[in-house]
Each structure stands twice: as structure tokens, then as C-alpha cells.
Amino acid sequence: MDKSKKLSESVIFPKGQKIINEYFIGETWLEMLVSNDSIFNCPIGNVTFEPGARNNWHKHPGGQILLVTGGKGYYQEEGKPVQVIKEGDVVKIHPNVKHWHGATPDSWLAHIAISTNAQKGDAEWLEPVTDEEYNNLQ
Ligand code: MN
């Protein structure tokens, strides 16, 4: 089975457009499901990572909740071990906690990213996750 087949089979919400910025390693896609506004203050996006893809270390001033909808991935908070996340998992990320998320080396990952309290500001992007950090599953 090729990679694109596996991706398309998993998607509940549209996969969206390829993310093109300096804050991600590997190919990732984003479809905004709810845009940011001053009524809800809660933008929601569907994010899909190819195997090995991850975002940089970052913080959310208002926090973030991830709902894993497909595949398998990693989540890590600074100073803590890498955690494996999989379809059905809910990850609550407190405001200003430095962390990263992405796919495992051998699986894609799809998650819904809910930006809570978005009026507190945009994500603060930090340094890339090194291969050493990424491959440090204990
Ligand atoms: Mn995040």
C-alpha cells in the first residue's frame, strides 16, 4: 500500500493544503475547519503529518487540545519523555508549555488541533526538533 493511499483512507475531514513554512520538518497538510474569530476564539484545524514529519518546538499562549483522528504519532513536553499518541487520544496542552507533535517514523498521523483561548495570541515557534530528540523514544 503506498503512502498516499494510507493517508486518504484515514481522513475524516479534508486533508487540505500542504503546509509551507519553516516550522515543520517533512510534509504536512492543514485544513482549517473553524477560522479564528472574536465570538468563539477557538480556531480548529485538521493537521496531517507524513511519517517522520513533525513541527518545531512551540508554545500556545492560550493552550491547545489535540484530538487524534488517525495513525500514530509522538507528543513531547519539554523535560518529559516522548509519548506515543494514536487514534482516539486526547492531548491537553496547557498555555505556554513548550512542546512538539508529529508522526512516528513509520506511520502518518492526523489530528484535529483546537486552539483554545485564541485571543491570547498566536503560537510562538521555537527551534526545530532534532533527529536525536525525535528518535529518543524510551
Ligand atoms: Mn502545539
Distance 1 CA to ligand 1 centre (A): 30
Q: Do the Cβ atoms of 89 and 39 come closer than 8 Å?
A: no
**β-sheet bridge partners, residue 77:** 99
Distance 73 CA to ligand 1 centre (A): 13
- Helix (H) / strand (E) element for 74: namely strand 64-77
Q: Distance (Å, rounded) from C-alpha 6 to C-alpha 91?
A: 23
Distance 83 CA to ligand 1 centre (A): 14
Listed by start position, the domains of the chain span 3-135
138, pLDDT greater than 80:
no
Distance 60 CA to ligand 1 centre (A): 7
75-120 residue pLDDT tens: 999 999 999 999 999 999 999 999 999 999 999 999 999 999 999 9
In sequence order, what DSSP letters do the residues of 85-122 get, joined into one string?
A: EETT-EEEE-TT--EEEEE-TTS-EEEEEE-TTGGG--
Give the confidence band of 1 by pLDDT, cuts at 50, 70, 90: very low
**CATH classification number, 3-135, choose in 3.30.1600.10, 1.10.340.30, 2.40.50.100, 2.60.120.10:** 2.60.120.10
Model's pTM, two decimal places?
Answer: 0.92
Q: Do the Cβ atoms of 125 and 58 come closer than 8 Å?
A: yes
